[in-house]
Amino acid sequence: MKYFIAANWKMNKTIGETRDFLKSFIPMVKELRDVDIVVAPPFTALSAAAEEMKGSNVLLSSQDVFWEEKGAYTGEVAPAMLVDAGCRHVIVGHSERRQYFHEDDQVVNKKIKAVLKAGLGVIFCCGESLEEREGGKTFDVIRREVEQGLAGVDPDNLVVAYEPIWAIGTGKTATVDQAQEVHAFIRNVLSGLYGSRAGEIRILYGGSVTPENVDSLMACKDVNGALVGGASLKPESFVKIVSFKKES
């Protein structure tokens, strides 16, 4: 299975900064063929990023989307607009969307269906908070988010990202054993939804991924890539992550 590593820049980088990053980054990864490399800049920089990525092995993703095709939805962006801007993927259900913008599993499900209908790939996020983990609710939360978020969803063009909320931007990273345990559980839940096709779905780890811990994380049986935040903002750092050497 080809690895999948995505940079989520969140609310960072202007158009100029995006161009500068990609001008530096793309030549450094042009020989990599065993990993899908994806970058998700803010909406304002999507078209500029698409221009810089043209002809390269780096793919463009949006950080979010709205589920309607068009209409009176001030401030929102439709799936077809993302296609027009050059996107190939969309991040849906990120913990920050759930936390700050109160997106629930039903909203996430509508967005996923709209994205797939438009022919885009989905990077679907799920994960538990520190309170939920300490309360022994990790698997209950993950099962609910996966089953409800993916209800009625075809697995084609689907990537799942496990992001323990307690490890995002905190410097805390799930241990290798913790990551593998939850990834294996997600694989099991996906098997309940999709049968043998679950084995084809890549599951990413997201939560303070760095050049220092990426090798050990990628060595986990059910970890097929990473969703990277802060460590993806500098070309030199992100190059080290996408060029990981899997530990034996």
- Any idea which fold 3-242 has? TIM Barrel (3.20.20)
Dump the DSSP string for 135-191. Answer: TT-HHHHHHHHHHHHTTT---TTEEEEE--GGGSSSS----HHHHHHHHHHHHHHHH
Q: Does the structure show a pLDDT above 80 at 104?
A: yes
Q: Which of 94, 128, 132, 145 is catalytic?
A: 94
**24-79 pLDDT per residue, tens:** 999 999 999 999 999 999 999 999 999 999 999 999 999 999 999 999 999 999 99
Q: Does the structure show a pLDDT above 60 at 248?
A: no
Task: State the Cα–Cα distance between residues 130 and 214, nearest whole angstrom.
Answer: 22
Mean pLDDT for the chain?
96
Q: Which of 52, 96, 132, 163 is catalytic?
A: 163
Task: State the Cα–Cα distance between residues 245 and 248, nearest whole angstrom.
Answer: 9
- Average pLDDT on 208-236 reads 96
Does the active-site annotation cover 94? yes
Cα–Cα distance list, 37 to 57, 60, 94, 121, 150 (Å)? 7, 9, 19, 13, 24
**9-20 pLDDT per residue, tens:** 999 999 999 999
Task: State the Cα–Cα distance between residues 97 and 104, nearest whole angstrom.
Answer: 9
> What are the tokens at 29?
């990864």
pLDDT of the residue at 247: 67
Instruction: Give the helix, strand, coil percentages of the chain, each rounded to 5.
Output: 45, 15, 40
- How far is residue 3 CA from its own chain's centroid? 12
Cα–Cα distance list, 78 to 8, 69, 81, 94, 114 (Å)? 19, 5, 5, 17, 9
What contacts 119, CB < 8 A, 6 or more positions away? 83, 157
Q: What is the DSSP letter of 199?
A: G
Cα–Cα distance list, 105 to 48, 192, 194, 205, 230 (Å)? 32, 18, 19, 20, 26
For tokens 């609910």, what's the residue?
144
